[in-house]
Amino acid sequence: MSDATKILMVGARGRMGQTILRLAAANPHFEITGTVDQGDNVLDRLDYCDVIIDFSHRSISGPLAQIAAQHNKPLVIGTTGQSTDEKQGIVEASASIPIVMAPNFSVGVNILFYLTRKAAEILGDEFDQEIVEMHHHLKIDAPSGTAKRLAEILVEVKGKAYDEIVLHGRSGEPGKRTCDEIAIHALCGGDVVGDHTVIFAGIGERVELSHKASSRETFASGALRAAKWSIGRAPGLFSMQDVLGLK
């Protein structure tokens, strides 16, 4: 299809990379013009793509963003866990090209982000806030980028600093729960693709917002949607919230 969005897939051998390749191959609106993984040279495959999708490793994202900027190629980043220094290269590159970076490309999860902010604004400090997540037994990082983003949203509404009030589980005798603290509880087992719940616990009532993913296809579909959206955009650092028009 002549007007198909041409994609260079970085991290093509990973679970997400494979899912994106499969969905793109079945959709005439997308064309995979190149794949890159460990040991490959991304420069050999840049000329033929309209946009780059990266689901490789956090250490790759910054240098890849710089290369994308040099060649004026929009970039979609689904890799998470970047350090402050690693993120800096992405921010710098976004002055030249559109970059969509998200901890989770699922449409449903991004609705969860949106609703979490609204609930936190409405319920306020009278409701304690906790985050519970579960992933498959092969996941290597905890908490996930999605759980961290949920915590960031709650922290932003409180007007506090993340490192001051976010806990990663509890053990021993942590003492009485403070009004501001937020704990992330990460569960791991089986083949769970990704479950996330934000709990607002008040006196006499509790509100829970949950999202459960049963297939990686939901993330892959979102990444492809973001790739198509990025074509022709002005430079900037965007999120899936921008892609969905939720901001």
Residue from 57, 139, 158, 160 carrying the catalytic annotation: 139
- What DSSP letter does each residue of 30-86 carry, written as one string? EEEEEEE-TT--GGGGSTT-SEEEE-S-HHHHHHHHHHHHHTT--EEE------HHH
Whether 135 sits among the annotated catalytic residues: the reply is yes
Residue from 73, 135, 196, 228 carrying the catalytic annotation: 135
Percent of the chain as helix, strand, coil, to the nearest 5 = 40, 25, 35
Whether 228 sits among the annotated catalytic residues: the reply is no
C-alpha 209/C-alpha 212 separation (Å) is: 10
3-state SS, one letter per residue, for 84-123: HHHHHHHHHHCCCCEEEECCCCCHHHHHHHHHHHHHHHHH
Phi, psi of 181 (to 5 degrees): -65, 145
Q: Are 5 and 227 in contact (CB under 8 A)?
A: yes
CB count in 10 Å sphere of residue 131: 22
**Residues known to be catalytic:** 135, 139
